[in-house]
């Protein structure tokens, strides 16, 4: 008989978050019930409340941790004074990081409206930090005369939007390798911003 009660389960917490992540990504936050999440974990709905105060916090925590991971990973990227090289690294980093976490990424920009106002503000701030990193690369290159960008703010959003598009179609094991995808996108981004 499987042990179902009383054990110290350090693993139940992570499993709940994983199940919630997966279900939220597939069906959307509003369409997923606490009972569905509990069923996926193999537990009764009430048990979830040992690990989260409510459903909203479950979503918020998933999004916040994802954004913090993203910023940490970006921070760990080797610095580079040359703007073009920095941009190339950013493109590669963005594509690879996001393709490794399709569910987190999907949630992070699809479920923003299901956050409470305070939680939304925090996530939005983290997102802005990420955009600013790219914008400062574009600014640097623009001032150095390497880039010819009419509006760095829009270019930032344009580049990120284009790169994010990769997740709507890329499937590992498909026609193109990760290296090829990175090469193709870098080629487009590079030409789009270069003088």
Partner DNA sequence: ACCGTATCTGAACAAACGTTCATATAGAAC
Partner DNA sequence: GTTCTATATGAACGTTTGTTCAGATACGGT
Which residues lie near DNA (CB under 7 A)? 3-10, 12, 32-36, 38, 42-50, 53-56
From 11, 73, 110, 144, residue interacting with its own copies (rule: CB under 8 A): 110
- Assess 181 for contact with its own copies (CB under 8 A): yes
When the beta carbons of 52 and 152 are compared against DNA, the nearer one is 52
CA–CA dist 25, 22 (Å, integer): 5
When the beta carbons of 54 and 151 are compared against its own copies, the nearer one is 151
From 4, 26, 49, 73, residue interacting with its own copies (rule: CB under 8 A): 26
When the beta carbons of 42 and 165 are compared against DNA, the nearer one is 42
- The one of DNA, its own copies, none whose footprint includes residue 79, by CB under 5 to 8 A per kind, is none
- Assess 194 for contact with its own copies (CB under 8 A): yes
When the beta carbons of 43 and 95 are compared against its own copies, the nearer one is 95
- The one of DNA, its own copies, none whose footprint includes residue 128, by CB under 5 to 8 A per kind, is none
- Binders of its own copies among residues 29 to 58 (CB under 8 A) are 30-31
- The one of DNA, its own copies, none whose footprint includes residue 7, by CB under 5 to 8 A per kind, is DNA
DSSP of the chain: ----SSS--TTHHHHHHHHHHHHHHHH-GGG--HHHHHHHHTS-GGGGGGT-SSHHHHHHHHHHHHHHHHHHHHHHSPP-SSHHHHHHHHHHHHHHHHHT-HHHHHHHHHSGGGS-HHHHHHHHHHHHHHHHHHHHHHHHHHHTTSB--S-HHHHHHHHHHHHHGGGGT--TTSSS-HHHHHHHHHHHHHHHHB-
When the beta carbons of 40 and 131 are compared against DNA, the nearer one is 40
Long-range contacts of 28-33 (CB under 8 A, 24+ apart): 28/110, 28/111, 29/59, 29/107, 29/111, 29/114, 30/114
Give the gyration radius of the chain's Cα atoms.
20
- Assess 13 for contact with its own copies (CB under 8 A): no
The binding site for its own copies (CB under 8 A) comprises 26-28, 30-31, 110, 113-114, 150-151, 154-155, 157-162, 164-166, 168-169, 176, 181, 183-185, 187-189, 191-194
């Amino acid at each position: 008989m499987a042990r179902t009660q009383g054990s110290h389960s350090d693993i139940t917490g992570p499993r709940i978050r994983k199940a919630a992540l997966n279900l939220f990504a597939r069906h959307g936050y509003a369409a997923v019930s606490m009972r569905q999440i509990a069923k996926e974990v193999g537990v009764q709905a009430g048990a979830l409340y040992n690990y989260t105060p409510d459903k909203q916090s479950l979503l918020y925590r998933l999004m916040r941790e994802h954004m913090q991971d993203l910023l940490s990973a970006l921070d760990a990227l080797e610095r580079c004074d040359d703007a073009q090289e920095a941009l190339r690294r950013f493109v590669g980093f963005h594509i690879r990081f996001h393709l490794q976490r399709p569910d987190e990424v999907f949630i992070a920009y699809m479920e923003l409206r299901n956050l409470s106002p305070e939680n939304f503000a925090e996530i939005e701030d983290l997102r802005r930090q990420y955009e600013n990193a790219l914008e400062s690369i574009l600014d640097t290159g623009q001032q150095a005369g390497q880039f010819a960008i009419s509006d760095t703010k829009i270019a930032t959003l344009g580049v990120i939007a284009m790169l994010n598009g990769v997740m709507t179609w890329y499937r590992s094991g498909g026609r193109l390798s990760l290296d090829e995808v990175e090469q193709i996108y870098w080629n487009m981004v590079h030409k789009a911003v270069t003088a």
